Structure 1
Amino acid sequence: MSSIPSLLRDRITATPDAEAYRVPSDEGWSSLSWREVGERVRGLTLGLARLGAGPGTRVSILCSTRLEWILADLAVLSTGAATTTIYPSNTAEESAFVIADSGSTIVIAENDDQVSKIRSVRKELPGVTHVVVIDGSPADDGWVITFDSLTEAVSEGDPQAGYDEMVDAIAQDDLATLIYTSGTTGRPKGVELTHDNWLYAAGAVREIDLISGADLHFLWLPLSHSFGKLLEVVMIDAGVPTAIDGRLDRIADNLGELRPTVMAAAPRIFEKIHNTVAANVRREGGAKALIFAWAKRTGIRVVRARQRGVSVPFTTRIEYALADRLVFAKLRDRFGGRIRFFISGAAPLSQDIAEFFDAAGLTILEGYGLTESSAGSFLNRPGSVRFGTVGQPFPGTRVRIADDGEILIGGRGIMRGYHGLPEETEAALKDGWLHTGDIGELDEAGRLSITDRKKELIKTSGGKYVAPTYLEGRIKAACPYASHVFVHGDRRNYVTALVTLDMDVVRPWAEAESLPADPRELREHPRMRAEVEKAIEQVNAGEASYTTVKKFAILAEDFSVETGELTPSLKIKRKVVEERHGDVLDSFYDSPA
């Protein structure tokens, strides 16, 4: 096949009546077959074509994760146009930049609120001819039309007319997606990804035999992010049904209801699950807390023995079986009891978190890729996971470590370039390799370990390099009450940290201990500081002296996408945090540590 729409067409031919997608409904969940998906995509394709979508054009999608996002994307691609993705959390100005820079002529918006956002910057978007609203009302001026009206406009004619011709005309090297990297610094850049980029990544997943049609995939990740988009294409290729619900507050309930076998997530979700469980057990105290702590120690002992390739003593196996019955089996049940594995990407996963989940029989396959490499380049394989690494490269992906430690990637998954930015493209694709900006190393089996971001490594005034994200992940794993940790110390004489609280986890503990529930008061309370300090000291004990955190502060408010401190994929924007909390950071160095 030569394109994503032709991949969909092949899937419909192969398994027309198999379940394709499952979505929330008034009755619980309802399903669509691949045949039904094809019918809806055809109608939307013809409607978008009548609005002017076609080869060489772009259509922006401003919408949360839901079925209509995927249907819209597949329809845009079927016209020969390319999809430009926008996070629904983006401001009007941020959205206007992406729409204008990409040259989008049509915007598909989720609801009236998103339409209002676009209308407020309409003067900056003279090239936009129509806004299509999924859940909303049309406008009298005809600029805003409804999603349903796209198919109504063609219902009187032949629903097949023209569709196959449009799909057949799409070439592998045609632009499929423009994804603007949120980035932790600077203005976003539009990454140009072709149909062949996505087809390669999906084929690589098939080649490593990761999933099958017997799986049920639960998707909540932002489809505006390259990780979510990759999962969309992978599941079409494999014929795996996907349950879709982008509501973050429904993840836990949906896992119990759907009983999926596969789910991908960013590390923050696994941290949240671990911290919630640990905090709840700690709050209950007594025998439950003692049993949980014993089970965790026993499980991690077994996991580490397996990682070293040594046999687990008989007595330890007996203890682990008991720990599984008393603790870990209950945790698996909370996730539906059928999870074969989780997939983690988009940011580094703490090894401590990975070991805990593996001990519970909920293995996390950590992977690695950039938007510039179609999201997927490396992945740990089931049965051969090595924690602390992101696994081996996808089949067909080449990797090299530069003299300065930077990871270089080559292969069919690498982007065409940055949209309208030839100098940045040349720098990123120098000498035929994608320069990732990440520092790493390869082991004897070809597994990649990420040390840190090249631009984010801290160099203390003493000349020592410190990897902040590594320390941040360890501290979060050690402190169930921490939401985010920001490690600081570049050109300073020692390392310090900012800590934010996860109030969903902290509040029940604070109420049970008769402590203030207001984070502004709680952050300075001796009990709260003692909990954070205990976690930091635990991490410090295993680190070289120059990497240890000497001082810390608990902030009154968590980092968020809305405040600009996090990217939409929940990575910390380090420069923004340094600017917003510069006074606190500077105060750490007013007196000796």
Structure 2
Amino acid sequence: MREFSVPALARCPKAEGLAESVYRTAEQTPQLAVMARRLGDGWVDVTAAAFRDQVLAVARGLLAVGIRFGDRVALMSRTRYEWTILDYALWSLGAQPVPVYPTSSAEQLRWILADTRAVACVVENEDHAMTVGSVCDGLEDLQHIWQLDSGALEQLAAAGEGMPEEYVNQHRQAVVAETVATIIYTSGTTGRPKGCVITHGNFLAESENLLARYGEVFSGRGGEQPATLLFLPLAHVFGRMIEVTAIRGGIKLGHEPSTSPAQLLPTLAAFRPTFILAVPYVFEKMLRRARERAERSGRASAFEKAYQVAVRYAEALERQAFDEGPGPSAALRVQHQLYDSLVYGKVRAVLGGRLRYAMSGGSAMSREQSLFFRGAGVTVLEGYGLTESTAAATANPPEKVRFGTVGQPIPGTSVLIAEDGEIWISGGQVFQGYLNNTEATSGTLRGGWLSTGDLGHLDRLGYLHITGRKKEIIVTSGGKSVSPVVLEDRIRTHPLVAHCALIGDDRPFIAALITLDPEALDHWLRVRGLPPLSPIEATTDQEIHAELQRAVLTANTVVSRAESVRAFRILPIEFTEQAGLLTPSLKLRRRAIARACATDIEALYANAAASPSAPLTT
């Protein structure tokens, strides 16, 4: 199949902006809990009326200090409640928030502030303020810097006490669907980030159709109010879409700044969301924690049996949904019910006990892991999108999940597979272009279609399968073209592996650079009664090498010999965003990795050349 379209289920309102829903909800259901704020170990609800009043107070303050329609204000912070207040205060004025990752370097920050001609910058803490201070020379448009940890919102509210509410309403009523809502910079695996111009209408087209199509996901059970915990970065389009969809859908929204399991899991248990949105890395970490707990308590064998039962049970349900099988057998249902009380219920309890659905995006998720979560009672709906498509372009429908795919186009969206296998997208959520970069815009927007740079194919039912990125294709010296994603994702599912990067451009064969997960390594050694190892020692340990060799050989079974990993090297370092080896959305920066690991790469191929008969070397 070359093209598949799904008609829109909702029309994008043309004469309103994103902030309108805040004021409408406050008028119609003032006591509805639209937010929850952390207070000590608990959470306190924020009503629609109280949220509206805070948004309005900050908007009046922004007007008082000179922020006007069309002005751009940078927001540099982790995910927190104040960011959402600022988003809607700025949208109330027709101003444009410009998100900045809190881990951005001074050079990246300077580029964004200069490219957008931002008139103000809101930062989270003193370190961020110092970073802004170090680059503000020559930024003539930058007039204000506010710091959240020093009471920025209170200061703005105080400044706006004398500003008539009518002035905010005049600005708000001038906002329409075509008005620019935000400039979001692509994190970029290569090159300088580009500013994606996204309108209010782009967000509305996406959120309205998601709410219409995925009502089962976004609704509560038994009349309870749906709730979601936002822990993805609000600097990323995925996080912003969660924010917008929750507020338009009457979904209670909480904020958590960390995706570290040590901090995230207790927060999930306390907040008790009905659905979440995350990236595969988060689900991988959750599964590893569950497996490690079972191993520490001496129940590793029981957990693995429960894992396999969940996978088989979910596979049977999947076949049944597509009329390809009768569903789980009686014996399998009995096994599943037994493990539901022993294992699956505990997994759900860690996630708060109310979680039924999760949506995953950003990179590919292992089909087997998705099946496990479905068998454990949490259906993960994998989707696909870009900053340029205002988050999701495709997603699995909740009643017919095809695990291992990124689903069908969301309503109002078309997907086309070009002659070279590139995925093209059309729909109301497709962005307007790149700020100050007509050349890049014309190379990406082609006759109403967004050329994504990703490769894939559509199956007979219109489900999209991602196979790689055009720019990431490895071409060996023998002329073989290899997409690295499939093998990297499979190798990364091993508990010891943190990241895997395939290499092989202009080389005789494909090889892999593997980094270890420190926590998983410590656990793996401890349960086997082995002494702790330093990162350097771990790279040459024979038992670890043998363990990873099995993982690589297993992954190789899904590709041809010419595409398989013939050698690998364990690295003593981690691929981190701070080291410049990962993007903020946790994608590999391949060129940076190749430069940082040049010595290891040369040694890997030299060792392989010295012992050509060995199937795998380090």
Q: Where does residue 553 of structure 1 map in the other structure?
A: 569
TM superposition shift of 1:504 = 1.9
Render the CA deviation track for 1:489-509: whole Å, top value 9, x for unaligned: 233222111111111222233
Q: Where does residue 306 of structure 1 map in the other structure?
A: 317
Render the CA deviation track for 1:363-394: whole Å, top value 9, x for unaligned: 11101111001111111111211012111111
Q: Where does residue 183 of structure 1 map in the other structure?
A: 188
Q: Where does residue 293 of structure 1 map in the other structure?
A: 304
Q: Where does residue 258 of structure 1 map in the other structure?
A: 271
2:548 to 489, 509, 532: 532
Is the CA contact 1:63–1:110 (under 8 Å) kept in the aligned structure 2?
yes
Unmatched segments (≥5 aa) in structure 2 = 1-12
Q: How does 1:433-448 map to 2 (within 5 A)?
A: 433-448=449-464
- CA separation of 1:438 and 1:27: change in aligned 2, threshold 3 A: closer
Secondary structure in structure 2 of the residue aligned to 1:135: helix
> 2:350 & 2:407 partners in 1: Cα distance?
28
1:52 to 54, 63, 66: 66
> 1:73 & 1:439 partners in 2: Cα distance?
34
Q: How does 1:151-550 map to 2 (within 5 A)?
A: 151-156=157-162, 158=164, 160-208=165-213, 209=215, 210-212=217-219, 214-249=225-260, 250-282=263-295, 285=298, 288-308=299-319, 309-311=324-326, 312-477=328-493, 479-512=494-527, 513-550=529-566
Larger RCO, structure (CA 8 Å, separation 6 or more)? 2
Secondary structure in structure 2 of the residue aligned to 1:376: strand
Secondary structure in structure 2 of the residue aligned to 1:202: helix
> 1:371 & 1:84 partners in 2: Cα distance?
13
- Letter paired with 2:483: A
- CA separation of 1:304 and 1:212: change in aligned 2, threshold 3 A: closer
> 2:86 & 2:390 partners in 1: Cα distance?
20
Is the CA contact 1:515–1:522 (under 8 Å) kept in the aligned structure 2?
no
Secondary structure in structure 1 of the residue aligned to 2:44: strand
Compare 8-17 and 408-417 and name the one that shifted more: 8-17
Q: Where does residue 149 of structure 1 map in the other structure?
A: 155
Is the CA contact 2:60–2:161 (under 8 Å) kept in the aligned structure 1?
no
> 1:468 & 1:337 partners in 2: Cα distance?
37
2:25 to 11, 16, 20: 11
Q: Where does residue 29 of structure 1 map in the other structure?
A: 43
> 1:119 & 1:68 partners in 2: Cα distance?
22
2:130 to 101, 112, 116: 116
- Letter paired with 1:585: I
TM superposition shift of 1:282 = 4.3
1:39 aligns with 2:39: no
Compare 392-401 and 414-423 and name the one that shifted more: 392-401
Q: TM-score, normalised by structure 1?
A: 0.95
> 2:601 & 2:315 partners in 1: Cα distance?
37
Is the CA contact 2:487–2:556 (under 8 Å) kept in the aligned structure 1?
no
Is the CA contact 1:274–1:480 (under 8 Å) kept in the aligned structure 2?
no
> Number of residue pairs matched?
581
2:112 to 83, 89, 98: 98
> 2:426 & 2:21 partners in 1: Cα distance?
24
- Letter paired with 1:154: G
- CA separation of 1:282 and 1:537: change in aligned 2, threshold 3 A: farther
Render the CA deviation track for 1:290-330: whole Å, top value 9, x for unaligned: 21222222221222233333123222222222232322222
Is the CA contact 1:106–1:129 (under 8 Å) kept in the aligned structure 2?
yes
TM superposition shift of 1:544 = 2.0
Q: Where does residue 9 of structure 2 map in the other structure?
A: none
Is the CA contact 2:581–2:590 (under 8 Å) kept in the aligned structure 1?
yes
TM superposition shift of 1:532 = 1.5
> 2:475 & 2:519 partners in 1: Cα distance?
35
TM superposition shift of 1:576 = 0.8
TM superposition shift of 1:157 = 5.2
TM superposition shift of 1:280 = 4.1
Render the CA deviation track for 1:187-230: whole Å, top value 9, x for unaligned: 00000000100011111111102413621111111000000001
> 1:157 & 1:489 partners in 2: Cα distance?
62
- CA separation of 1:7 and 1:307: change in aligned 2, threshold 3 A: same
Render the CA deviation track for 1:103-131: whole Å, top value 9, x for unaligned: 10110111111111101112142210010
TM superposition shift of 1:283 = 5.4
Q: Where does residue 143 of structure 1 map in the other structure?
A: none
> 1:472 & 1:546 partners in 2: Cα distance?
16
> 1:104 & 1:28 partners in 2: Cα distance?
37
Compare 464-473 and 274-283 and name the one that shifted more: 274-283
1:587 to 583, 586, 603: 603
2:594 to 578, 588, 591: 578
> 1:542 & 1:410 partners in 2: Cα distance?
32
Is the CA contact 2:18–2:91 (under 8 Å) kept in the aligned structure 1?
yes
1:568 aligns with 2:584: yes
- CA separation of 1:220 and 1:431: change in aligned 2, threshold 3 A: same
TM superposition shift of 1:27 = 5.3
> 2:515 & 2:293 partners in 1: Cα distance?
19
Is the CA contact 1:275–1:481 (under 8 Å) kept in the aligned structure 2?
no
Is the CA contact 1:487–1:497 (under 8 Å) kept in the aligned structure 2?
yes
Compare 160-169 and 174-183 and name the one that shifted more: 160-169
1:71 to 70, 73, 85: 85
- Letter paired with 2:273: P
Secondary structure in structure 1 of the residue aligned to 2:478: coil
Secondary structure in structure 2 of the residue aligned to 1:572: coil
Secondary structure in structure 2 of the residue aligned to 1:588: helix
> 1:390 & 1:407 partners in 2: Cα distance?
12
- CA separation of 1:27 and 1:320: change in aligned 2, threshold 3 A: closer
- Letter paired with 1:184: T
Q: TM-score, normalised by structure 2?
A: 0.91
Q: Where does residue 7 of structure 2 map in the other structure?
A: none
Render the CA deviation track for 1:5-36: whole Å, top value 9, x for unaligned: 11222222232211111121225222211111
User: Percent same amino acid among aligned pairs?
Assistant: 35
Unmatched segments (≥5 aa) in structure 1 = 138-145
> 1:428 & 1:201 partners in 2: Cα distance?
20
- Letter paired with 1:508: H
Is the CA contact 2:423–2:454 (under 8 Å) kept in the aligned structure 1?
yes
> 1:552 & 1:276 partners in 2: Cα distance?
26
1:88 aligns with 2:102: yes
TM superposition shift of 1:455 = 1.2
> 1:261 & 1:373 partners in 2: Cα distance?
26
Q: Where does residue 5 of structure 2 map in the other structure?
A: none
